[in-house]
């Protein structure tokens, strides 16, 4: 249990570092947008949870699409190769947001239940819940 807690701290520090680094680069690739809009944009990937209004399979698909770091990296790489700031910014935004979510214990979702994530089961009542 002690090693598990130490590992969770290490992972949370890593996620915090990725979030901070992505936010730093967002300050460079800011597209001239005001700070208040960046706060809204930072949390905008969570709108993907609206897929859960249809069913848990669609919800998990839409949530994972907007929280998967491979998508963020693909946008970043494409943006750098094409010299397109908006793609770079989109990739940085997704990377920052997904790392922030993982730092809080929100992993990618399984299709059976919103609380069943790649980091374990969310919530205090579950014996397999994510320790943060």
Residue-wise pLDDT tens digits, 29-85: 889 999 999 999 999 999 999 999 999 999 999 999 999 999 999 999 999 999 999
pLDDT band at 127 (very low <50, low <70, confident <90, very high): very low
pLDDT in tens, 107-118: 899 999 889 988
Tokens for 98, please give them.
């997904």
**pLDDT for res 3:** 86
pLDDT at 83: 97
The runs of H, that is alpha helices, within 54-84 are 56-65, 69-82
Predicted local confidence at residue 14, as pLDDT: 95
Angle, to 10 degrees, between the axis of helix 69-82 and the axis of helix 85-103? 160
Whole-model pTM?
Answer: 0.86
Q: Residue 114 has what pLDDT?
A: 86
Chain center to CA of 15: 10
pLDDT confidence bin for 5, thresholds 50/70/90: confident
pLDDT band at residue 131 under the 50/70/90 scheme: very low
pLDDT band, residue 8 (cuts 50/70/90): confident
């Amino acid at each position: 249990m002690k090693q598990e807690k130490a590992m969770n701290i290490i992972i949370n520090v890593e996620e915090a570092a990725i979030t901070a680094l992505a936010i730093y680069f967002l300050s460079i690739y800011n597209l001239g947008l005001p700070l208040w809009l960046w706060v809204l944009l930072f949390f905008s990937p969570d709108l993907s949870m609206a897929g859960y209004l249809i069913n848990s399979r669609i919800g998990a698909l839409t949530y994972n699409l907007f929280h998967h770091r491979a998508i963020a990296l693909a946008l970043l790489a494409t943006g750098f190769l094409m010299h397109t700031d908006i793609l770079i910014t989109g990739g940085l935004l997704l990377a920052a947001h997904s790392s922030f979510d993982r730092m809080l214990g929100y992993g990618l979702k399984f299709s059976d239940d919103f609380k069943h994530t790649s980091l374990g089961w969310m919530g205090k009542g579950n014996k397999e819940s994510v320790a943060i």
